[in-house]
Amino acid sequence: MTWTIRGAELADADALPKIEYSAGQRFLTIPDVAWLADGEDMPVEAHQRYIARGTEWVAVSEAQELVGFLAAEIVNRDLHIWELAVLADVQNRGIGRQLIDAATNFARDRHLRSLTLTTFAHVPWNAPWYSRLGFRASSNDERLAGLLRTEAERGWPRRCAMRKMINGGMSPDFIVLTVGEAPEIETYLADRIYEYNAQATGYFDGESFSATQRDESGVIRSGVCGYTWGGCCYISYLWVDESQRGCGLGTALLNAAEAHARTKECKVVLLATHTFQAPQFYEGMGYQQQAVVQNHPPGHASVVFAKLLRELPDPGCEGS
């Protein structure tokens, strides 16, 4: 006997709670959850809601009898499975796996991140079965943790959250955050972002630059660094040692950066500074304020400046 998996239709909704009740009778074999056999099934209204959203699937026999269903919902970038049930007399024949496959294909086509669910950790046809289908325990997701807390309040014992990654994604449970400098990671991420930006824009001319002033012992007393790319110059840092301020070094460094930008045929120089740093200095050097980010940090603001080195073409005018 074979079964067909298709999207559920509103006409199917009335028959689906009976499938869940049939599947639930299996809990009678496990004492601490036997009461679930007579528990509340998903109401018809809930099935109708998921069917209307296109996130419920049914298994249909050759005789056109409904024998199983999977009800789910898109939550952020996940497809969350609320219920999966198969008639008791046709279980262990691959119907549940086929329903999971249908949900997985749906999520993959919509570029979702993963399938998620909560289930009983100690019931053989729950967590162990999902593990064989590629689901893994998920412990660092606040949404799923909230569902587990609600289920614990309802008296459901030994529940766990599980996730199946799709589209080549990695589980957020594998993200490791470290504190402190990480130059290797910063360089790697900067290179990957530059590769993407270059491919997206067609500008492959990115190049870093720096200029420094050192004392007799070789210690840096002032400097500027940044990069040029796509006709723009970005100044990342400009610093002058307190003992050297007021001597024109800031002006000299900025002029050096602008001169380099002109050799790269840059049309504009961009930079950001804080209100407690040097906004007046940059305004005096011909820079114009572009944006202000308030409370960065609290009580202060950061300011984005730009200076045109050459007149930009008017985007509203067409050449002849």
Q: Per-residue pLDDT tens for 36-73?
A: 888 888 999 999 999 999 999 999 999 999 999 999 99
Which is more confident, 168 or 63? 63
Token pair of 41, please?
A: 């099934």
Sign of CA dihedral 24, 30, 36, 38: positive
**DSSP-assigned letter for residue 42:** P
The pLDDT assigned to 258 comes to 97
The pLDDT assigned to 199 comes to 86
What is the DSSP pairing of strand 301-308 with strand 288-294?
antiparallel
Q: How many CB atoms lie within 10 A of CB 46?
A: 18
Q: Which residue pairs from 70-75 have beta carbons closer than 8 angstroms and sit at least 24 positions apart in sequence?
A: 70/99, 70/100, 70/102, 70/103, 71/16, 71/42, 71/46, 71/47, 72/103, 72/115, 74/110, 74/112, 75/116, 75/143
Domain boundaries in the chain? 3-172, 203-308
Strand partners, 165: 114
Q: Which residue has the tokens 């720096």?
A: 210
Token pair of 306, please?
A: 């730009």
**DSSP-assigned letter for residue 108:** H
Domains 3-172 and 203-308 are alike in CATH topology? yes
Q: Across residues 170-191, what is the average pLDDT?
A: 79
The pLDDT assigned to 312 comes to 52
The pLDDT assigned to 240 comes to 96
- Is-contact 39 154, C-beta < 8 A? no
Asked whether residue 316 carries a pLDDT value surpassing 90, the answer given is no
The pLDDT assigned to 317 comes to 45
Token pair of 265, please?
A: 């045929």
The three-state secondary structure class of 62 is coil
With pLDDT > 90 as the criterion, what percentage of the chain qualifies?
Answer: 79
Q: Across residues 238-249, what is the average pLDDT?
A: 93
Taking only the tens place, the pLDDT of each residue in 91-140 is 999 999 999 999 999 999 999 999 999 999 999 999 999 999 999 998 88
Q: How many CB atoms lie within 10 A of CB 106?
A: 19
Q: Across residues 137-163, what is the average pLDDT?
A: 92
The pLDDT assigned to 318 comes to 43
The pLDDT assigned to 235 comes to 98
Asked whether residue 320 carries a pLDDT value surpassing 50, the answer given is no
The pLDDT assigned to 167 comes to 73
Superfamily designation of domain 203-308:
Gcn5-related N-acetyltransferase (GNAT) (3.40.630.30)
How much is the mean pLDDT over the chain? 92
Q: Across residues 234-251, what is the average pLDDT?
A: 94
171 Cβ contact list (under 8 Å, min separation 6): 114, 136, 138, 163, 165
Stated as kind and residue range, the H or E segment containing 56 is: strand 56-61
> Band of the pLDDT at 177, cuts 50, 70, 90?
confident
Token pair of 2, please?
A: 């074979």
Q: Which residue has the tokens 């053989």?
A: 124
Taking only the tens place, the pLDDT of each residue in 244-268 is 998 999 999 999 999 999 999 999 9
The pLDDT assigned to 23 comes to 94
Taking only the tens place, the pLDDT of each residue in 266-300 is 999 999 999 999 999 999 999 999 999 999 999 99
pTM of the full structure: 0.57
What number does CATH give the domain 3-172? Answer: 3.40.630.30
Q: How many CB atoms lie within 10 A of CB 207?
A: 9
Q: Across residues 226-244, what is the average pLDDT?
A: 96
The pLDDT assigned to 173 comes to 59
Q: Across residues 173-191, what is the average pLDDT?
A: 82
Strand partners, 312: none
What is the distance between the alpha carbons of residues 205 and 264, in angstroms, rounded to a whole number?
9
- Is-contact 60 44, C-beta < 8 A? no
Q: DSSP states of 118-171 as a string?
A: EEESS-TTTHHHHHHTT-EE--S-HHHHHHHHHHHHTT--SEEEEEEE-TT---
